[in-house]
Amino acid sequence: MNSLQSLLLLNAIGLVTFGCVYSGEVIPDNVKKDILQLEEHYKTNDPILASGGPLFLNVLKYFDKQESGDKILLNEIVNVYIDILKNMKDTTEDQRSKNSTQHVYSEMEKLKARFASGADTLKELKKLWEIKTSDPIVQRKAILELKQVLEKAMRIKKLQKNMQKRRRRRVNSP
């Protein structure tokens, strides 16, 4: 097999793999049927559900960034340190300690800028936590978006599984 044929074969394998991962068939048929039944039962075609925008679909855009939980936690830790240091700086009378506190405070402010995207993700999380899950309109909206959210979650799960397999192969290969 010459190099062109090898390249074509490699590309074909990549396309097949890419197609399997991103195919629309990530949700099992029985689950799709259940979602359709719920959509009918809760009348998700009602125009009232369009008011206020989507519940979850806007949040899913943050998954494309692959924002790690570590970044979000570090962002919050840095914010707490900034508050603590500001308070210490304002209450300390010793000038040397005040200067040191100001210097560390400045460094934390620089770090805060590096983790700013984590703050956006945290804001979205807070919005999710505030959703009134017992509200019938919210429930109907959730059913309306369920298929798209489930597809996204299953694709992410499948991608993570494939990445884990690749890592294991790399570790186990000589």
pLDDT in tens, 75-85: 788 888 999 99
- For residues 62 and 120, is the Cβ–Cβ distance under 8 A? yes
Per-residue pLDDT for 164 more than 50?
yes
> Whole-angstrom Cα distance, residue 119 to residue 76?
8
User: Given this model, what pLDDT does residue 63 score?
Assistant: 61
User: Given this model, what pLDDT does residue 22 score?
Assistant: 43
Per-residue pLDDT for 10 more than 50?
no
Check residue 97 and give left, alpha or beta (phi > 0: left; psi -120 to 50: alpha): alpha
Work out the mean pLDDT of the chain and round it to a whole number. Answer: 77
- Per-residue pLDDT of 143-153, as tens digits, reads 988 888 888 88
User: Given this model, what pLDDT does residue 83 score?
Assistant: 92
**Longest CA–CA separation in the chain, Å:** 79
Angle at 150 between CA 19 and CA 167, to 5 degrees: 55
The confidence band for 7, taking pLDDT boundaries of 50, 70 and 90, is very low
- 77: closest CA among 112, 102, 53, 105? 112
